[in-house]
Structure 1
Amino acid sequence: MQPATKDTPKANVLTGPYIHNPDNIAFVSFETEGETPRSFSILIAEGMIFEGEEYPANGIAVLDNDNVAIVFDQAYEQDVNGQGPSRDQRTAFNFLQALGWQEFSYFCRTRDTYRNGIEDIDVKTAIPNEGNRESQVRIGALDPAFIDNRSDLIRSLNASPDLPYAFPRASRESMVTEIMAHDVFYSEGGSPSSLAWDVRMNFDWNKTGRIVDGEEVCQTMDDKWDAEMRDNKSIFDAACDACLDPFISSNFSPFEIEDMEAELDVRGGNNGFVALKKYNDQDMTFSDIDELHGKLETLSDEDIMGLWLTVRTLDVDLSRDVRAADLAVQLNESRAELEQEWLNEYEDALVFDGPEDVRF
């Protein structure tokens, strides 16, 4: 047997009922008003298989990938004597790939071998019907990542320019994969592990108690405030508790959406991690990654979608930037209250001798 070379013709393949060279097929797609484009296959056929028998069917064929149907075939049919596509066939093959929807549908509709029965071609629609994602993915016309299992609500949240969150197109499979790749708090001593968010403040952030457009504080008390922060850890702890309270005091529901409730608690030294205990009353702790995967696989599509939304929302709400800003606000309020206390104490200490006390 002679080894194949770059000039060796490729073996023919079968697409639908048509025999063709694997280089002589192309997918074309057209935008729709939905999430999935309309899809067709264009190929240069050399024959066809019907009920196990091979028949001549030379020429351009177009297949409807969404409805699994033949649009037309045997266009520009010629006897090419096994020499591959004719010049006219190759020209038509390239020409069809460059057309817009209305020109493409007109071309299909006016072929002698057009099959009829394809709604958006028959009725001459300006925009094609939405495509079939599953069918397109199955034949390789559409990347699996294109599948979108988001609800209309999540799509609208993602499209809002006023929200700092991102909920991009995602399939159930990609949602599960993303959740499994999330940070985990691994417990010791046999305790279960959890999806988690690191809320430690072990980085540079504004501890001055002074923020733009916040409570007015006195610059001359900066040193006193710094000393208080250093010596009185309860100020920092109280600020942290106030920031975390919306997440752990009761079930967390992103955007207050019903049927999306996450039970969270704090874990680790100094409560440095927020961990997911339950989602919609379902235990989400696990002993290893395989157990987590098993639990995710048992969740409904709606719960996977909601959990994915919750995780992505918490990724923003518990991010360093947001926590640093929230804590700076809490410390500003704490400092303003303390400065008022210090001022009151100072005024009480200003006592002068005389017929009666005079205080400023």
Structure 2
Amino acid sequence: MKPKRIAAIVTEYRRWSHADVILRNLLDGYPGGGRPGMELVSLYTDQVPKNDMSRDLAKKHGFRLCATIAEALTLGGDKLEVDGVLSIGEHGKYPHNDKGQILYPRRRFFAEICAVFSRTGRSVPVFNDKHLAATWEDAHWMYEQARKLMVPLLAGSSIPVTWRKPDLTLPKGCELVGAVQVGYGPLEGYGFHALEGLQCMVERRRLPGNGTEQGVVAVTCHFGAAMWQRFDEFPWAKRLLEAIVPLVRYHAGGDIRQVSQRARDAAIFEIEYRDGLRAFVVMPNGWIYENEGGSFYFAGLRRGSADPDVCQFYLQQPDPFAHFAELTKAIDHLMQTTHPPYPVERTLLTTGILDAAMTSRYEKGQRQTTPHLRDIRYAASDWKHAQGPIPPAAGKKADR
């Protein structure tokens, strides 16, 4: 079977950028052997930094460097000449808004991709890296445009598809008392990863109706002196945090609460779901440190269970960044079948939650009601996260 011909639309292509750690799997194959059924035939780079890799890689691998997004999809002709598109709007020098959100050109990328679809009368699958856009308005426009043009659309983080230590999948239809996700790093850029980790777990809970009512009715960002006040009102939340903390190998000395509430970039997102579930995303910057496996952890308490369910979402880093190979496998499934392996509505929801959290922080911790997120519906996916040995980082042995 011939590989699917892929156009990549990226903000920049340098070492360890998302363009690098995703597209390397198309160019050189997976770290553990084998390769996706995709061939990179064209590339558009929105910015070209001094440490750009794309020009040399084009000479080595023979893909076409394009001056416009339209050229990347049509190869300079009048027809759509690719079988799929990877839109990687992450990294590069872009402005921030007053809320601290980075205004990557993800909507612009998608608009120009869809313009080609409209003009040529044909749509192909599109993968959008990370959250759909910084703002709900842009994200919702992209989602509706994809529906209008019947674009098979996949988006999101590598967190839901990476390894879990210990291996954990919540049973479908379980009753959750509450959930806590711990993350680290920039509130928008890495807060999104934490939200995707949370959502891929809690979406499997028992839900009213036909089991698809995933919606959220309110979001609050707690920070500073008030960071832990709301969290500590729920005994189950404290219990879940206590289950996670022993798994965190690298952190500052001192109490997690006292240290983090003094950090300017630490916060807790409180999420109120339509069905009554409450969850917290804890970003205890100042206390938590990044390590070779990252620092994303989940804990949930099932009704009737004696102990919490807890795991680390393990990121294999640095090189070869094998968790991005797992994300590439999900992208490959989309391109081969034209069916997303998990619903884009998950990322539509996490995008909306993140935007509300950033708005709440900007408005000094005001609770944000989210009627626009209330009616988001989708069924939980059975797409399996990474299994088996973790490919070693360069110079290390495999982690089993």
Higher relative contact order (CA 8 A, sep 6+): 2
TM-score of the two chains, using structure 1 as the length reference = 0.24
Which protein shows a greater Rg? 1
Which of the pair is proportionally richer in helix?
1
